Structure 1
């Protein structure tokens, strides 16, 4: 079919609406994650953990981190799988991949050489689970062949393999520490498996619905692809080279008046996660600078992108000091001078962030 022609403004509004960042806020956590398809887990908590920050930026101050903990550990409507939180009903989309894991030759060889170690881990969890990795004995015959941070981490590596295979699951977290159990005691009963090709098609369609507009193919991303294959319909965006895919549901909404709002985003938020897409659609430059020396940072250790209506307009350099009970704002970097309205809206959102964290705001 002939590609749809979109302006950059159209594309931005499609992306903002698809990520539930317009004025029509969602109201319920499970529905939010179902639409976004995932929340990424990241240990950095300079302001708040990523999963909580993403949920707060949509749901507002009614959201509490204990809501996520309850969904993961008690009612189990959500599940942690490979460092991403997903709706538990999405598991059939991943079971075909679980059955063939690990696929890389080196990993598969190590896994096969340690067949007894696999059985030992499963037996230990069956008898005593749920357990942390420290509570499971290393009975490996062949150590994991790594020259990096996974050296001497055979138990952790085996547990991660077994999680990826769907035999073990993450039952809970205590801080950053994962607690493991048999998958049959964490996941709901049933072994429905959607064939791999069909699962990829469904995941691409749902990913596009959550992004609004995306490339058919882009560079690889860890954990979750950033492209959507043949999902949706073709589109071109004025001033941006190449072809895109656009979600039909969002296309249909272009005739509706757009009502935006101001939001503070995690650096791992899916609106900005693909930095090249962010540059192309929003003409917004962003780099996560926590890995840079302090004197090389332009925006701060964990600067939060600032969304205002359908534009990314700046970065918030802030840090939460929970012991002192303070959210310190080091700087608000403006990509272009803020209007009086923008300044007031950004200040109100910063105050809302401090209130949600239960911290005193210090500027």
Structure 2
């Protein structure tokens, strides 16, 4: 086991994690549509989210890594069959080459081992399949069915919409396109490209896939993080056995950091960590680099929570704070809102938690990042309403005024 205690060693470990995420290089995956395709393939998934106070999370994640990315490109990749929608640890866009690794969960739902909806309406599901088979792709809003008696949350969807979702989750249907958040479904056999492997993986194949994927996009992993939010006990055992086997064979190294947490990485990976740059990144709360909160806190000492699910009076930072990354550290967070009709990006609260890094270089990087982010939000102006610590208000406002 390699024990890392010095600040220099931990910094190298952080750089490995961030470069593996594509957050240190200017064009890690290229640009435009090709860059978006390669980014999704490398990351393994991009989480879908509906919150729109700023541009939605799945677009934001790609914007952070792919120059010239446009939100329409994601649907282009779905329609062309290069990306598909399904469940990762949440709803996500995934590379089509990984399709076979969605099959164990689909089969578990279809067999009743795992429930998406309890007591699904098999008769209605059969009718919908027959309709799609004969009439072609179907949008959920096009289904004519009576509402349930109850009204309100997502659990009260129309029976037909539930049936569509059940068919999708168990693998009979796939999403073949989207209009905003309106899915269009078609038969899997008509959507899945013919060259894609659809053989169900063994438990060991699935475990190896997850380990390879996580090492590729995170650089270093823990046993727990490889199976993040996957509750299959046999899968966890298979992952543990493969990781321990990799250590025994010398293909993996076990790393212990100062707080006692243990990670694993490819042998020699620390020898290839890139240099830091002076770019500041504004990340989504659902960004792949921050979604595993325990890992984020352990490695970067950044304690982060999305507070949109927290009652307003109990929020510490704001509804939808965005993590700020600069020179290998998470230096703070920013709660903001895009007022698109007015063309204004409002920074409701800016929290700089590592104040020692604040200098002209950092503030210039912040203004550059805000300018790029403003354009991404389709806004023309920027307003800074609040900052902590408060003495930073004047210099940050002055820096922003050089652009606006």
Q: Is residue 324 of structure 1 aligned with residue 329 of structure 2?
A: no
**Partner Cα distance (1:137, 1:311) in 2:** 52
Cα distance, 1:249 vs structure 2: 7.1
Partner of 1:33: 40
Query: Which residue number in structure 1 is paired with residue 400 of structure 2?
Result: none
Post-superposition offset of 1:257:
3.8
Question: Could you say which residue in structure 2 is the equivalent of 1:93?
Answer: 101
CA contact (8 A) 2:99 2:197 kept: no
Deviation at 1:25, TM superposition (A): 2.3
Deviation at 1:70, TM superposition (A): 1.1
Structure 1 residue 169 corresponds to structure 2 residue 174: yes
List alignment gaps of at least 5 residues for structure 1.
none
Summarize deviations over 1:222-270 as a string: whole Å, max 9, x none.
Answer: 5899x9644462433432223212244743413x544463211000111
Q: 1:123 to 1:100 in 2, by over 3 A?
A: same
After TM superposition, the structure 1 = structure 2 runs for residues 72-151 of structure 1, keeping only pairs within 5 Å, are: 72-73=78-79, 75-82=80-87, 83-102=91-110, 103-104=112-113, 110-111=119-120, 114-136=121-143, 149-151=154-156
The corresponding residue for 2:10 is: 8
Query: Do residues 245 (structure 1) and 264 (structure 2) align?
Result: yes
Question: What root-mean-square deviation, in Å, do the aligned CA atoms of Structure 1 and Structure 2 show?
Answer: 3.1
Instruction: Give the Cα separation in 1 of the matches to 2:378 and 2:19.
Output: 29
**Residue from 351, 356, 366 that aligns with 1:333:** 351
Q: SS of the counterpart of 1:362? A: strand
TM-score normalised by structure 2 residue count: 0.78
- TM-superposition CA deviations, 1:33-52 (whole Å, max 9, x none): 11001110000111111111
Q: Give unpaired runs (5+ residues) of structure 2.
A: 247-251, 384-404
Q: Classify the secondary structure of the residue corresponding to 1:317.
A: strand
Aligned to 1:160: 165
Tell me the SS of whatever aligns to 1:101.
helix
Instruction: Tell me the number of residue pairs that the alignment of Structure 1 and Structure 2 aligns.
Output: 354
After superposition, the Cα gap between the structure-2 partners of 1:249 and 1:356, relative to the gap in structure 1 and judged at 3 Å, is farther
2:324 maps to 306
Equivalent pair of 2:176/2:191 in contact (CA under 8 Å)? yes
Which residue matches 2:396? none
| From 46, 49, 64, the counterpart of 2:70 | 64
Q: 1:261 to 1:246 in 2, by over 3 A?
A: farther
TM-score normalised per structure 1: 0.87
Question: What residue is the counterpart of 2:24 in the other structure?
Answer: 22
SS in 2 for 1:150: helix
Q: Is the 8 A contact 1:21 1:261 kept in 2?
A: no
Q: Deviation at 1:354? A: 0.6
* 1:212 alignment counterpart: 219
SS at match of 2:284: coil
Whole-Å separation in 2 of the counterparts to 1:324 and 1:185: 43
Q: Which stretch of structure 1 is more off in the superposition, 328-337 or 306-315?
A: 328-337
From the two aligned structures, give the one with the greater helix fraction.
Answer: 2
Aligned equivalents of 1:293, 1:286: Cα separation in 2: 16
1:43 to 22, 44, 50: 50
Q: C-alpha deviations, 1:119-170, integer Å up to 9, x for none? A: 111011112232222333559xxx9xxx974135432332222222221011
1:359 equivalenced with 2:383 (yes/no): no
Range 90-99 or range 342-351, more displaced: 90-99
State the Cα distance separating 1:349 from its structure 2 match: 0.1
Shift of 1:182: 1.2
Provide the secondary structure at the position in 2 that maps to 1:240: coil
Higher RCO (CA 8 Å, separation ≥ 6 residues): 1
Helix, strand or coil: the match of 2:185? strand
1:117 shift after superposition: 2.3
Aligned CA distance change for structure 1 residues 18 and 321 (closer, same or farther; 3 Å): same
- Is the 8 Å Cα contact of residues 55 and 376 (structure 2) preserved in structure 1? no
Tell me if structure 1 keeps the 8 A contact 2:13–2:270.
no
